[in-house]
Structure 1
Amino acid sequence: MNLERLRKRVRQYLDQQQYQSALFWADKVASLSHEEPQDIYWLAQCLYLTAQYHRAAHALRSRKLDKLYEACRYLAARCHYAAKEHQQALDILDMEEPINKRLFEKYLKDESGLKDPSNDWEMSQSSYNKPSETVLPESVDGLQENLDVVVSLAERHYYNCDFKMCYKLTSVVMEKDPFHANCLPVHIGTLVELNKANELFYLSHKLVDLYPSNPVSWFAVGCYYLMVGHKNEHARRYLSKATTLEKTYGPAWVAYGHSFAVESEHDQAMAAYFTAAQLMKGWKTAEKWFLDALEKIKAIGNEVTVDKWEPLLNNLGHVCRKLKKYAEALDYHRQALVLIPQNASTYSAIGYIHSLMGNFENAVDYFHTALGLRRDDTFSVTMLGHCIEMYIGDSEAYIGADIKDKLKCYDFDVHTMKTLKNIISPPWDFREFEVEKQTAEETGLAPLETSRKTPDPRPSLEETFEIEMNESDMMLETSMSDHSS
């Protein structure tokens, strides 16, 4: 009997992925060769490939081949791992090679999605460098057209907001390899940025049909619904499925947060962005990175559109405000206002900074403008009430005609006054306010001291404002995030 011929047949069946046929002949070869270790190893390989993990492990361990040969030890460990007997797999690797055990533990950690993202921080950070011409050493010059190299360059263009060049590169990759794992998230993100809804629709359906258990498939579907607008609930459903399949799939979590942000559901959005917040703690760090982003955008020039500048400038304003750099914060918000003039959130931010600086008259004007653009802005309504109350409290002892004229527009805005009456604690007496206004019209001067005969038991207006500052600050942060990227 020519055993070499039969062994060659086993290899041929394995190469053709006819594992059952390979198993049949491997079993016969092992018997004919009187169980030579090489033939038992190939028999175990065939058993492993046919998902008979316990039989494969037994074939090796019963003959103590796992103690004699490294390949057999590794295969036996793989069999136990595939059978979800992780401790037994570690015990096998721990026999003589503790180093192998550590490597296998690392493999288990990576497989379970617990990989520490800080290990890849330096490599990830390089993705944000401005792309330059790819120069490879002569020894690997043949990799110039390698798809992984092209995808890496496309990522750098994407992170530098050069979406057209990124799309050009990813399209080349997708044409050569339609399901390139590293290229798909970048390509999908580029399609969203360029509003190519039809192409994304076709790609997402093809991915779901072919790879229903891959998170990138449902990420693509969620991005499509997020892009078309007014279907955020559908987007969340599919993005949630992507995160269920792989809890550490970052692109899906970011898109999940965006789906809440566009609906002003800020608490849910912040929960989805929580991982990113953990990586960058502290306002000082935030200011540093926002300024770095500003410099990069200036270097890019016309490749970045206005809608990309405006959120960056507003975010810089928020950070400077938190650092009590009020003048710088106002400057950034005013620059954002030049880019997008009719943004209620920017007016609210400027008004809030004026209120923190004690410029209540200016704050009232900006909050009123914000409400004119968006009447359902709860933060602006609340802060307008506080600022009017404090503006009156900080005015002179007598309200003259000039003060009356400044507040005249608010006197006749019945809707605003009713709202303010309900939200300010303790509430104003609206009729008393009307009496004071009427007296002012008749005499031109109305002593404030005569409007109350008993001392006001409330804390000072500055103390009241300081008490509610933190709550208002939180409301402002969430009211801005629907325009932030």
Structure 2
Amino acid sequence: MSEAILNRIRNIVIDYTNKHQYESALFWSDKAASLSQYHASDVYRLAQSMFHMKQFERAAVLIIKRKLHLKYNAFRYLVAKCYASCKEWQLALDVLETVQPDGSTSMVSKKILLEAEKVEGVPEDKEMIASLHLLRGDIYEAMDVRDIAADCYKEAVKADVFCYEAFDRLIGHHMLRAEEEQDLLESLPMRKQCKSVEEQNLLRFLYDIKLKKYNKPGQLEVPDSVDNLHENLDIATSLAERHYYNCEFKTSYKITENILKCDPYHGACLPLHVALLVELKESNKLFYLAHQLVSRYPELPISWYAVGCYYLLQPKKQELARRYLLKTTLLDKMYGPAWLAYGHSFASENEHDQAMAAYFTASQLMKGCHLPFLYIGLEYSVTNNTKLAEKFFSTALEICPDDPHVLHEMGVASCTNNDYQSAVEYFNKALNKIQELGDEVSIEEWKPLLNNLGHVHRQLKNYPQALTYHRQALVLSPHSADTYTNIGFVLSYMGNYLEAIEYLHKSLGLRRDDAFTASLLDTVIEQFSDSDIPVYGEVVEAPELPPTCTREFAYKPEDSLIDCQSEKPRKPLQPAFSDASGDSTTATPSPNNPLTFNYKLEVTDNYTTPEEAKCLDTPMSGITALNYTSHDESCSKDNDLGTSMTGMSYPHTRSKGTVDHDDSTWWARKRGEAHSGSTGTLSTSTVHGQDGSLLDQSAFTSPVTEQGGNQVFSTDDDMELDDSTDQ
């Protein structure tokens, strides 16, 4: 056979390989190898064609029989790659490592390197050094020997600074911490391997932007020589990742959404986009994305990871979430985010042991990421193992010192250890970080931080500051029963029992089965009953009168309850009505005939008895009204005109890092990973009628009617609000 025909067949093989017609390439490469009596270059092309056709063992046997793997690194790499594709990890390592005469192992024999000759169409041995280190690192990582794998990846990227796969394994799999990543970048021989300064600057920029994921995003500075990289999708993905790790989820989501519009299946962007959809609780968009991925790429782990994350957002479908997340780990057991989500599914059902097992696996796979250590600490905190919780929180803080989640949990751990000064420092740092985020902050997510600041200041007996933080939390979440209880708790310490009872009533209106709030309410009521007796209305100062003298004063219905400061308490008497001229009348008040209340107070020589004081007990939710007695009879009946506040009952859920009302118990829980600020005011004058409807307080100023000698207050719709009063 002439050399021209053989060269023609070799060109046909190369042409079909470039066209991805591997079956045709395999057919002609087999003929070329036979015609050349298995020349090294033809054997290499034939083995490559078999590898492309996934005939791995056949390709390995072809090379080993001719012992070409002992002479050329390219054949050595191809044989090891075939065994690794069959998951024969030990056989692959045996091929890669050569035993030296001194007993040590090496990737390449020095003797073989000296004897190897250059073959056309086969890469040189020096060109394959980085690939051999990369493959060796992949094998060790698959065998869960991650420390050696990381060393192999470092050697690969140092042998060839353009070997992005090795660099991506180190960074994408979170094998290194921030300082180790920076040391690696500084140790790369860019100046030696790059042919120009411009090439060196480009390489440093592309690697540097992937390293600083915990740094502030800032403005992207692209070298002038490569200004067009502003629109590169990989660069945009790296920028979105920075926003994500700085808790700027909405900004990051906008970037990833634009990326997927240009490239719907961008491999580096998809895991980040799925995490953002979970954080922002966009279940509908996540369902659509998962459906598209499964229908097009059922063999990829990201497809089933998206399905598992969708079910993770459904409260009662955690079993389905675990099923699909487990399938993700079977496809790629190194997929760290799937292990994190797998732990979340157990933690949401209070299965702490299984959750921690999943988090520990994630921590081994993501050594340079702070999230696994944060969640392990949370589980230990929930199970009251505060020492281990603080240890893992400290590890997370070392990796990511500016994450407000970590700072918040460190504050909770300090509170548990009764180190309130340190807790205040951590909480204030977290609050400062949140204020920097602005609209990125989720209202519901950061309400526990304000409440916890209130708890700590209460422990430090700084009650006004504690009350301020609790009221700020109430503005963020007006329907939080916990916050109402917290405010009532602080007010009771401040001696403001009346307002404390009001807030505790509102808390029970939102969550009636809260045992702590009910017990606290009973205690505050007992303290209130032992305190000074209050009277209603504004008392105008007047000289002390003889016991038999009386005087009148005007009562304003809008006046609030005040404490009586007189040495001799006065007993309210039966009100009389008078018209505008001051004459007594029994006419019904109306807009054209306004009436005013007049009270007669009798100064007594003795203090009011506890039985009489009961007349002044009032409910703290709803309208507060007076109790009346006749002029010649002692007060003996509680004629409470108030109505209890009614409202929807909200389920009691545990928020991340929430400190319980009990001083000895501090909660810590946050699942799921979302932010916009809002302002509002709390209204304490809301009135509810007997049917639960909201009523205007001004409606209770009219009219007053008499029925059978009893005076009855009613609203415009004749809703009766009080029992009868003895005359």
- Aligned residue in 1 for 2:393: 281
Q: How does 1:378-457 map to 2 (within 5 A)?
A: 381=515, 385=519, 401-402=529-530
Q: Is the counterpart of residue 127 in structure 1 residue 264 in structure 2?
A: no
Moved more, 289-298 or 148-157: 289-298
Q: Is the counterpart of residue 146 in structure 1 residue 336 in structure 2?
A: no
Alpha carbons 1:321, 1:353 under 8 Å: kept: no
Moved more, 70-79 or 88-97: 88-97
Partner Cα separation in structure 2 for residue 309 and residue 470 of structure 1: 15
2:34 to 31, 35, 43: 31
- Aligned residue in 2 for 1:200: 286
Partner Cα separation in structure 2 for residue 317 and residue 112 of structure 1: 50
- In the TM superposition, residue 140 of structure 1 has moved relative to its aligned partner by 3.5
Q: Is the counterpart of residue 184 in structure 1 residue 192 in structure 2?
A: no
Partner Cα separation in structure 1 for residue 479 and residue 452 of structure 2: 17
Q: Is the counterpart of residue 341 in structure 1 residue 462 in structure 2?
A: no
Partner Cα separation in structure 2 for residue 472 and residue 270 of structure 1: 26
Between structure 1 and structure 2, the one with the greater Rg is 2
SS in 1 for 2:393: coil
Moved more, 176-185 or 20-29: 20-29
Q: Is the counterpart of residue 14 in structure 1 residue 17 in structure 2?
A: yes
SS in 2 for 1:372: helix
Moved more, 15-24 or 304-313: 304-313
- Aligned residue in 2 for 1:410: none
TM-score by length of 2: 0.47
Alpha carbons 1:226, 1:232 under 8 Å: kept: yes
What amino acid is aligned across from residue 286 of structure 1 in structure 2?
A: M
Alpha carbons 2:278, 2:672 under 8 Å: kept: no
Alpha carbons 1:222, 1:239 under 8 Å: kept: yes
- Specify which structure has the higher proportion of helix: 1
1:106 to 117, 137, 141: 137
Q: How does 1:311-350 map to 2 (within 5 A)?
A: 311-314=448-451, 327=462, 332-347=469-484
Partner Cα separation in structure 2 for residue 403 and residue 286 of structure 1: 40
Partner Cα separation in structure 1 for residue 269 and residue 290 of structure 2: 14
- In the TM superposition, residue 247 of structure 1 has moved relative to its aligned partner by 5.0
Alpha carbons 1:77, 1:93 under 8 Å: kept: yes
1:220 to 297, 306, 327: 306
Partner Cα separation in structure 2 for residue 298 and residue 343 of structure 1: 22
- In the TM superposition, residue 94 of structure 1 has moved relative to its aligned partner by 1.5
- Aligned residue in 2 for 1:137: 223
1:303-327 deviations in Å (ceiling 9; x for gaps): 5453354244346667x589x7675
Alpha carbons 1:400, 1:440 under 8 Å: kept: no
Partner Cα separation in structure 2 for residue 332 and residue 226 of structure 1: 33
TM-score by length of 1: 0.67
Distance 1:19 1:315, change over 3 A: farther
Moved more, 303-312 or 250-259: 250-259
- In the TM superposition, residue 359 of structure 1 has moved relative to its aligned partner by 9.4
Partner Cα separation in structure 2 for residue 264 and residue 301 of structure 1: 32
1:63-95 deviations in Å (ceiling 9; x for gaps): 221111111111111122222222222122211
- Aligned residue in 1 for 2:54: 51
1:334-384 deviations in Å (ceiling 9; x for gaps): 4323322321233456678899x999989995766544322244xxx1575
Distance 1:353 1:402, change over 3 A: closer
- Aligned residue in 1 for 2:88: 85
Distance 1:146 1:295, change over 3 A: same
Partner Cα separation in structure 2 for residue 141 and residue 59 of structure 1: 49
Alpha carbons 2:51, 2:59 under 8 Å: kept: yes
Aligned residues: 415
Where structure 1 has 5 or more consecutive residues not aligned to the other structure, the ranges are 407-438, 445-468
Alpha carbons 2:427, 2:449 under 8 Å: kept: yes
Distance 1:314 1:216, change over 3 A: farther
Partner Cα separation in structure 2 for residue 484 and residue 331 of structure 1: 27
2:63 to 60, 65, 72: 60
Q: What is the percentage of aligned positions where both structures have the same residue?
A: 43
Alpha carbons 2:279, 2:673 under 8 Å: kept: no
- In the TM superposition, residue 32 of structure 1 has moved relative to its aligned partner by 1.4
- Specify which structure has the higher proportion of strand: 2
1:404-429 deviations in Å (ceiling 9; x for gaps): 999xxxxxxxxxxxxxxxxxxxxxxx
Alpha carbons 1:204, 1:220 under 8 Å: kept: yes
- In the TM superposition, residue 292 of structure 1 has moved relative to its aligned partner by 4.4
Partner Cα separation in structure 2 for residue 165 and residue 300 of structure 1: 11
